[in-house]
Structure 1
Amino acid sequence: MKTTQYAFEIVQELTQSLQLISENEAEKLMESITESNKIFVAGAGRSGFIGKSFVMRMMHMGIDAYAVGETVTANLKEDDLLIIGSGSGETKTLVSIAEKAKKLRGTVAVVTTAPESTIGKLADIVVQLPGATKDRTESNYKTIQPMGSLFEQTMMLFYDALILQFMNKKGLDSQTMYGKHANLE
């Protein structure tokens, strides 16, 4: 198969995945983002990179948002939201972060393939995304892609869709957001 054929297959998988996301779950997360004082996003590996890109876009919109683990991350308080992106919902470091956020009386949301996972059970808000986890256990979801790629790509598109929804609600456009773009580059 040629590179472009693989790319078209990936797009087809993503189209199917996105159709399976619960609009109800997505709306709960959007409401929590809108109502929270600060937003924290955590993830490991590629999920963490995607989470950081989500934080960056929220910052561009004027939302007080942070990537967990960075030296400039603020402290989580009671009316703050922690969003964890984890395919398995079992990553030990992310479980610990979720537990800590609950102790601090923050709201915990998880974007995952596994709503019944440890983090899923700790979370106040669960958004289930279809896709296989990196080790392919407990998933019958079919994908040509390696490891957790389909989940990670679906999460990126889901986060970008949340950004567009927030922009629409707040009357923001790219030009307005560009005013908050880094300018020391």
Structure 2
Amino acid sequence: MKTTDYLSLIIKELEQTATLISDSEADQLVEALLNAKKVFVTGAGRSGLAGKAFVMRMMHMGIDAYVVGETVTANLEQGDLLIVCSGSGETRTLIPIAEKAKELGGTVVTVTINPQSTISTIADRIIQLPGITKDGSAGSYQTIQPMGSLFEQTMLLFFDAVILRFMEIKQLDSNTMYGKHANLE
């Protein structure tokens, strides 16, 4: 099979995942963003990279957003939002972060494949995305892709869709957002 044939199959998988995401859960995330004073995002590996891309877009929209663990990350306080990106919902390094956010009075949202996971039990809201975990322990969605690729790709595109919905509500456009784009490049 040609590389471009694989690309076509991946795109078809992503089209199918979009129909399986709950609009209600998506709206809850948008609402949480609208109500949060500050937003923090954490994740490990490729899930963390998708989360970092989301933080960048939130910053472009004027949201006070941070990646957990970076040197410039603010402190989480009551009224702030933590978004935990974990396909399995069992990532050992992320569980104590979610617990600490709850102790500090933050709202915790998890984006996961597994709504019965440890992180899901801590979270105030769960956004379930289709896929399978990297070790195959959670999720029943069929994919040609290795490990957690489908989940990670779906999450990246889902976050972009959340950004578009937020832009619509706040009446923002790309020109407005470009004013917050890095200019030391």
- TM-score normalised to structure 2 length: 0.99
1:140 CA displacement: 2.2
Shifted more, 134-143 versus 60-69: the winner is 134-143
Deviations 1:3-25 (A, max 9, x none): 11100100110011111000011
Residue aligning to 1:124:
124
Does residue 91 of structure 1 match 2:98?
A: no
Residue aligning to 1:82:
82
What is the aligned-residue identity percentage?
66
**RMSD, aligned α-carbons:** 0.6
Task: Give runs of aligned pairs for residues 122-161 of structure 1, distance below 5 A.
Answer: 122-161=122-161
- TM-score normalised to structure 1 length: 0.99
Report if aligned partners of 2:114, 2:139 keep a CA contact under 8 Å in 1.
no
User: How many Å separate the matches in 2 of 1:182 and 1:138?
Assistant: 38
User: How many Å separate the matches in 2 of 1:146 and 1:9?
Assistant: 13
Q: What is the DSSP-based 3-state SS (H/G/I as helix, E as strand, rest coil) of the residue aligned with 1:53?
A: helix
Q: What is the DSSP-based 3-state SS (H/G/I as helix, E as strand, rest coil) of the residue aligned with 2:93?
A: helix
Residue aligning to 1:182:
182
User: How many Å separate the matches in 1 of 2:95 and 2:108?
Assistant: 11
Report if aligned partners of 2:59, 2:65 keep a CA contact under 8 Å in 1.
yes
How many equivalent pairs are there?
185
User: How many Å separate the matches in 2 of 1:93 and 1:66?
Assistant: 17
Deviating above 4 A after TM superposition, structure 1's stretches of 4 or more consecutive aligned residues are: none
Report if aligned partners of 2:88, 2:138 keep a CA contact under 8 Å in 1.
no
1:138 CA displacement: 3.0
Task: Give runs of aligned pairs for residues 26-175 of structure 1, distance below 5 A.
Answer: 26-175=26-175
5+ residue gaps, structure 1: none
5+ residue gaps, structure 2: none
Deviations 1:91-115 (A, max 9, x none): 0111010000011010000000001
Report if aligned partners of 2:88, 2:137 keep a CA contact under 8 Å in 1.
no
1:147 CA displacement: 0.5
User: How many Å separate the matches in 1 of 2:74 and 2:26?
Assistant: 25
User: How many Å separate the matches in 1 of 2:24 and 2:15?
Assistant: 19
1:141 CA displacement: 1.4
